[in-house]
Structure 1
């Protein structure tokens, strides 16, 4: 194998060889793949948190309709790693009670804040 003027490896016919080109292209594309993967995981976390907020609101409304208080039921209804960022507010009167649950959305990128997911549920008051 001979080297040409510019130091490019050439085979016997004088054709330049592209050794390692695929590896370099892969390394250039790797950050894009990582960003897409992190975005997919973050979207999954947002959807999961919204689902957990709905579960917390229903559990809190059920508990408040039985006159047991909503906050403890809300926190107990979500996953343990989300329970610390869960808050419930109760409103209503008469024959029904409405509970609004808010759950903080976790972030996989430190320093980014996605806010919280909120859901409401209404239940009839049990007499």
Structure 2
């Protein structure tokens, strides 16, 4: 087996070697992209919270309309059907001749502190139980 001699040109030394060294560049690229990745992650969480708020408002509106159509306290039923941290606003459902309509508004908090959150409103109508 023949050994190849190592050339001095293959491994430069001195100030020039340090100038062209790219160690740590990937760490700088990661540090540059980290804020972008955090904002994307927080936006995904915010979209999930808005979807959850829409689901909770719809559930509360259906529960309030169903209970009020059977001559019960629809406002209490609607408030019990939604998570308390969403700050539900459940007024007494409007009872008509044939149907009862309930409207529920919940406040979805913001993940990013610069925004104040969103109010989500859902409405449900149920036939009266005669």
- Give the structure-1-normalised TM-score: 0.84
Query: Aligned partners of 1:53 and 1:65: how far apart in 2?
Result: 18
Summarize the alignment of residues 46-125 of structure 1 with structure 2, pairs less than 5 Å apart. 46-82=50-86, 85-89=87-91, 90-125=93-128
Q: Kindly indicate which of the two structures has a greater share of residues assigned to strand.
A: 1
Q: Which residue of structure 2 lines up, in the alignment, with residue 23 of structure 1?
A: 27
Q: Which has the larger radius of gyration?
A: 2
TM-score (norm 2): 0.82
Between structures 1 and 2, the one with greater helix share = 2
- 5+ residue gaps, structure 1, are 11-15
**Are 1:37 and 2:41 an aligned pair?**
yes
Are 2:58 and 2:122, in contact at CA under 8 Å, matched by a contact in 1? yes
Corresponding pairs, count: 117
RMSD of the TM alignment (CA)? 1.5
Q: CA deviation at 1:88?
A: 2.1
